[in-house]
Structure 1
Amino acid sequence: MATIKDVAKLAGVALSTASYALSGDHRVSANTREKVLEAARQLNYHKNGFAMDLKRSRTNTIALILADLSGPFYSELIRSVQEVALSNGYDLIACSSMGERDSTAVRFLREKRVDGAVVLAYNMTDEVLHASAGPNFPIIAMDRVISGEGLVSIIVDGESGGYEATRYLINKGHRKVAYISGPSNSFANSLRYQGFLRAMKEAGLEEQAKWRLSGGFIRDGGYKATKMMLMQGELPTAIFYGNDEMAIGGLKAFEEGGIRVPEDISIIGFDDIELTEFIQPPLTTIRQPMYESGSLAGHLLFQMLNGESVNESYKLNVQIIERQSVSAPANSNSSV
């Protein structure tokens, strides 16, 4: 990889002159600047943004790192963190952790391209966060329990939410209850599943292996998992989808299969994204305070940047939102 020394040598100028020319400094004549820029083009030289950042005490930028930038779930989080950043005179960069170790997000953390970060990405390892965080580089980790210098964790009480969702279905009279899960390596999914199992055990019910399916927390995943359930020929009387997007995908699959919600099967989701009020039927769900958790994460990050002390971890409560996708089970059997 070419260096600025290589550029200076090819252009026949001093190292300092090459640096001034590449930075657009007015002290360099137009002719000399063009020679330096031409040498840089020939060598395919690019300025090292990390080295430039090291010369500044602050970038006045924070990062929001998400597993996926698409989908309605993240919009409230992005909006809330952005509002906090702007109120503090900072810019916000939102980036995806897709690609894991090779992702742009990992480079942003390791190379300190920003002043701190809010991370909600189940596919980013604790190892990366521990290696990146420090007294001068705070990281707020959402939906995971992690501790260390420069690290604060925020979790939503997903176990309680999973329990409440399942208990709600059981209290309506359902005994054949399934859980459509998110990614197996998602901490949030793990908590919701634990809550589901606790409620089932408490009611003397067992999860049936034939209904143990994953939808990956995406709409198409929920659709495909529900289609698979339909193909098996026997349905539960109720399904707890690990998030609303999967439940919306499930609704589409049931509509295509001629299965009515909630007359033939009841469903409940998790998150309370905006769309759940407007689909048919409106979705009963567990509301997690996404806007509030994002706002909290942003405020904590700036408190740490300002040298203020904060707690190591925070837990936020959830609540059930009753709409029209759950009813008592039908008297007839649930075979398709």
Structure 2
Amino acid sequence: MNIKELAEKAGVSVATVSYVLNGKNKVSVATRDKILALIESEGYEFNSAARDLKKQSNKIIVICLESLHGSFFNELIDGIEQAAIKLGYNFIVTTSFGGIKSSAHKILSERRADGAIILAPILENEFLLATATKNTPLILLDRELEHPNIRNILLDNISGIEQAINELVTKKITKIGYIGGIKSHFDAQQRLTAFYNSMAKHRLTINESWVFTGEFDQQSGKRVALSLLSSNQSDWPEAIVCANDEMAVGLEQTFLAHRIKIPEQISIIGFDDILISQYVTPSLSTISYLKQELGYLAVDSLIRLIQKKEVTNLKIKTSFIKRNSSI
């Protein structure tokens, strides 16, 4: 394909294509991205100026998070920072709050960074695939997508929930409830499915009135506790597994405020092993993984992807940590 054909396909003038190929700032970002995407898809052999335009590196990566609140994100960012400093990159942390009007959406759309780490379920798959197609490498921590410029680093959610259920079953606990997370989130979906499958594996009856949906915050745990407290205790589960520690802490602290003994009257298990889980009383049994390592691996994988090196999808190991909130 020559420059004239490329211009016709893009619906622009030959001069506009020439501006893009030569790195001139005379066209809009949207038009520039459209032309570069066509160049990639059609295999156009462009000059060195255009190659430099596409390959120039600011040594900046963007971290797109759902939120900046909570211990989980603090520990993850700590690992990201360590890796970025060691590997000589700067990073921008932004959030997906506001959807298409969010700073994360804007930064990715304008291609201000060499690549991005994504933990922001609200960002649409279509948008991320389009971003990757514009030659922006992405590391996804919150879903599975296939694209040459995308790699997935995911938690072994299934093993984590299985370990929690196995632990309870070994203690002869069979009446088990569950608090799930936001239904649209990949991790929440995997953990809920793992709960149902693990219960079925042990041939345990699932009481649907003990299966709750939360929002990954302490308030969700509090609401579940208050709901159970309004019912007859003989109708309670013997244990509740939570899809994250924040909900487990809210559940535990509300029960304690109403003089419910943990784990004597009900066992509680969380997921994530955030810092507070060690210091609440009683300390929280949970599913653990190395969040700093997750952050470090995400940065290392992203930079390797930016450098066109071989990068594989990864699964992060999870393990059960026994503390005082479960029998």
* TM-score normalized with structure 1 length: 0.78
* RMSD between superposed Cα atoms in Å: 2.0
**Offset, 1:55:** 10
- 2:270 matches 1:290: no
**Offset, 1:317:** 1.2
Q: Please say which of residues 218-227 and 274-283 is displaced more in the overlay.
A: 218-227
**Offset, 1:49:** 10
Whether the 8 Å contact between 1:117 and 1:140 is mirrored in structure 2 is: yes
The corresponding residue for 1:320 is: 320
Which structure 2 residue ranges, 5 or more long, are not aligned? 1-27, 33-52
Deviation by residue 1:296-317 (Cα, 9 ceiling, x = unmatched): 1100111112221212x21121
Deviation by residue 1:84-113 (Cα, 9 ceiling, x = unmatched): 112232221111112222211111111101
Whether the 8 Å contact between 1:134 and 1:151 is mirrored in structure 2 is: no
**Offset, 1:229:** 2.4
Secondary structure of the 2:305 match is: helix
What is the CA–CA distance in structure 2 between the aligned matches of 1:316 and 1:248, rounded to whole Å?
24
Whether the 8 Å contact between 1:189 and 1:242 is mirrored in structure 2 is: yes
The corresponding residue for 2:68 is: 69
**Offset, 1:148:** 0.5
What is the CA–CA distance in structure 1 between the aligned matches of 2:288 and 2:172, rounded to whole Å?
22
**Residue 281 to residue 148, structure 1, CA distance change in 2 (3 Å):** same
The corresponding residue for 1:229 is: 228
The corresponding residue for 1:246 is: 247
The corresponding residue for 1:144 is: 143
The corresponding residue for 1:98 is: 97
Structure 1 residue runs of 4 or more that deviate by more than 3 Å after TM superposition: 48-51
Letter matched to residue 136 of structure 2:
F
The corresponding residue for 1:128 is: 127
**Offset, 1:154:** 0.8
**Offset, 1:291:** 1.3
Show the 5 A alignment for 1:1-336: 57-134=56-133, 136-233=135-232, 234-311=235-312, 313-327=313-327
What is the CA–CA distance in structure 1 between the aligned matches of 2:306 and 2:296, rounded to whole Å?
15
The corresponding residue for 1:18 is: none
Whether the 8 Å contact between 1:284 and 1:326 is mirrored in structure 2 is: yes
Letter matched to residue 291 of structure 1:
Q
Deviation by residue 1:202-260 (Cα, 9 ceiling, x = unmatched): 22222212122122111122212222222233321100011111111111110122211
Whether the 8 Å contact between 2:155 and 2:318 is mirrored in structure 1 is: yes
What is the CA–CA distance in structure 2 between the aligned matches of 1:89 and 1:157, rounded to whole Å?
30
Whether the 8 Å contact between 2:29 and 2:110 is mirrored in structure 1 is: no
**Residue 177 to residue 55, structure 1, CA distance change in 2 (3 Å):** closer
Whether the 8 Å contact between 1:135 and 1:150 is mirrored in structure 2 is: no
The corresponding residue for 1:37 is: none
Letter matched to residue 304 of structure 1:
L
Whether the 8 Å contact between 1:162 and 1:194 is mirrored in structure 2 is: no
Larger Rg: 1
**Offset, 1:264:** 0.7
What is the CA–CA distance in structure 1 between the aligned matches of 2:100 and 2:321, rounded to whole Å?
38
Whether the 8 Å contact between 2:66 and 2:97 is mirrored in structure 1 is: yes
What is the CA–CA distance in structure 1 between the aligned matches of 2:133 and 2:86, rounded to whole Å?
24
Letter matched to residue 314 of structure 1:
L
What is the CA–CA distance in structure 2 between the aligned matches of 1:97 and 1:248, rounded to whole Å?
25
**Offset, 1:56:** 9.4
Secondary structure of the 1:270 match is: coil
Secondary structure of the 1:271 match is: coil
Whether the 8 Å contact between 1:236 and 1:265 is mirrored in structure 2 is: yes
The corresponding residue for 1:330 is: none
Deviation by residue 1:275-313 (Cα, 9 ceiling, x = unmatched): 1111111111110221111111100111112221212x2
What is the CA–CA distance in structure 2 between the aligned matches of 1:149 and 1:56, rounded to whole Å?
16
Which structure 1 residue ranges, 5 or more long, are not aligned? 1-47, 328-336
Secondary structure of the 1:124 match is: coil
The corresponding residue for 2:9 is: none
* TM-score normalized with structure 2 length: 0.80
**Offset, 1:135:** 7.3
Letter matched to residue 315 of structure 2:
K
Aligned length: 277
